[in-house]
Structure 1
Amino acid sequence: MQRVHKLIKHSGELVFIDASGNMDRQGCRVFLLLTHSCAGGLPLGVLITTNESTETVTEALALYNSLLDNSAFFGRGPKLGPELFMTDDSTSERQALSAIYPEATLLLCVFHLLQAFWHFLWEFKNGVRKEDRPHLFPLLKDMVYCSSVDELQAKFEAMENDETLARYEKVQKHLEDVYARKSSWAVCYRDDLNVRNNNTNNYAEASMQIMKDQILERTKAYNVIQLVDFIVTRLEAYYERRIIDVCNNRLDRVLQSRFLLSVAAGCKINPDEIEQVDEDLYMVPSETDETVGYVVHLGQGVCSCKIGMTGGPCKHQYLVIKTYNAQSCWNFIPVNDPAMRMLLYKVATGCANVPDDWFVSLNHQ
């Protein structure tokens, strides 16, 4: 986890945090802090608490922060913390994060926001008729995925005049309260943030499943001491094996990953039409519109298209990498990049005494 803090640059950009329980017989809560990478979610820290109150979580984060040095969060240090946190709508978590990392921006997981609204519509006390729920749910969903702030404002005004919604005062009040926090969940407010096309907390959800399935094998730890032992031994070994598999191009488990270079398979853009502007800057034509071009900056790992605007992997970045044999791109699994594979190997093992040609292809000339 210390090496992930120090060597993976995404740890300074975006951190996911989530909690789960039912892992030991005392009913403790386990919080996972993770960042994302081409090898999947990588852990930055684990907190074990007796409950999820604001005071308890704040104290746990303060103790966690005391373990960090200035190399934490890719050099930002424990005082600043990461640029962004992604959480579900847990008031205690968000208040604790604000207290310990006041400089960080807190974002809401889109999936959990919509899931909570769907549950709200199904609660008997809110009195929403079954046939009206499919109409009311898209009112929030459409606002979440608006492409601009003006469009979001227009959707909200249209929602206020919705005849079906007018029959449910509780739902209308709930949507107005949610809208008041629009900057934390609306996708249009994230265009200038390094979310790398991550709008959900699914890395944390998947890691919790790994904890329960792979580490605890669907059994409860006998006590907290045993739970800690599992975390510092089995959990560490699991992530080490997974990263080494990526280093060695054993990709059987990630064949559907959006970080694979096959993301642009079947793309009809002519590579000869890609123009290199300078060392890291490229112009890539649109696949469907000849009048449109996209700007790719490999150094920052961004593209001017909708997917790549916040730093997510897109076909335009892939084509530049393939055409110009570019190296050291964080947005794709480094199948043909010895330097990035070496970096991941160092993250996994801490070993820096590997020969320079260790990960070079056998066909390398």
Structure 2
Amino acid sequence: VTNNHVIEGAERLEVTLNDNRTYDATVIGTDPTTDLALIKIEADSLHVIPMGSSDNLLVGEWVLAVGNPFGFTSTVTAGIVSAKARSISDSRQGRMTIESYIQTDAAVNPGNSGGALVNLKGELIGINTAIYSQTGNYAGYSFAIPTSIVVKVMTDLKKYGTVQRAVLGITFRELTPEIIKEKGFKNINDGIVVEEVSEGGAAMTAGVKPNDVIVAINGTAIHNKAQFMEQLSRLSPGDKASLTIVRDGSTRNFDVTLLNNQGSTRIVKAPTVEALGAKFAKVADDKLRALRLRSGVQVSEVTGDGRFKHAGIREGFIISDINNGRVSSPEDVEKIYDAIMNSDDTYDKVMFISGVYPTGKKMYYAVDLAD
């Protein structure tokens, strides 16, 4: 288990063990939404770390962070749990994220990412993933993804190749004193206030309405966005959940059957670039110069009844940009495709492609990737 940002964009992965054995690694699956990745090596006599419960972790409890900061192999630092269910940003590099971090004051620096956060029993209770600093180095605050999220994500990546993420079908805000005053709420201090309910979504089907305040999921109290996202991230499409909601001053329970972001409970398959229905090849430098292109990837073949054929793209087309990002190799096309398909935003599953045919004719295409 490691962080997605550790392996993202890598052409080759190598894992070095404590006894200095090295192995090439393959990627089983990644989840940019939680910044987690699962990789595999072919090796014998590996020690498996026992999995602990981040739910049982207490603020003030001692923990150890393990990693390789600044290249110092297998460095261990100690600290206490400073807070739980901490969110440090609304997004990471423009992506939708799920953040419910364990905050510690164990010294974590560049090179610690993907390392273990353990309790004093030596049990894994988090994956070190971020620091809060104005200099880029440790300044007293470090953050780890709790095992409550890690276990679900890793299980799904191993079994399905992609995370089976449950969607409630609402937009929401954390309850604040300003919102309480604005809405006229009484006898309630925190929770998640529902802003909108998606048509035909799980919440609407269960009877959830705008201005409802969610205060618990399956009996676990919800005080903020991070706690809400953590509880939801444990569940899969098809799971049933009990929502405790305050409406018009009274508390009610709603049973909801969760869906995926496609509005169903079926298993979501890992995206494969073959769905585009095309093969790609590098473009010779002299051809790029002749067409006045800085970079590009040529569609060497349009196959079957795929997305490219439906969009009208023909064989020989040279792609220069996808979604305003320059492409220079077939691998670039695959990485952009994977990033789009791994996104939880159903409305942004599209490739906006610009390029030129060998005749010099410029063309622009929109390739719809949504089901």
Higher helix share: 1
TM-score, with normalisation over the residues of structure 1? 0.27
TM-score, with normalisation over the residues of structure 2? 0.27
Higher strand share: 2
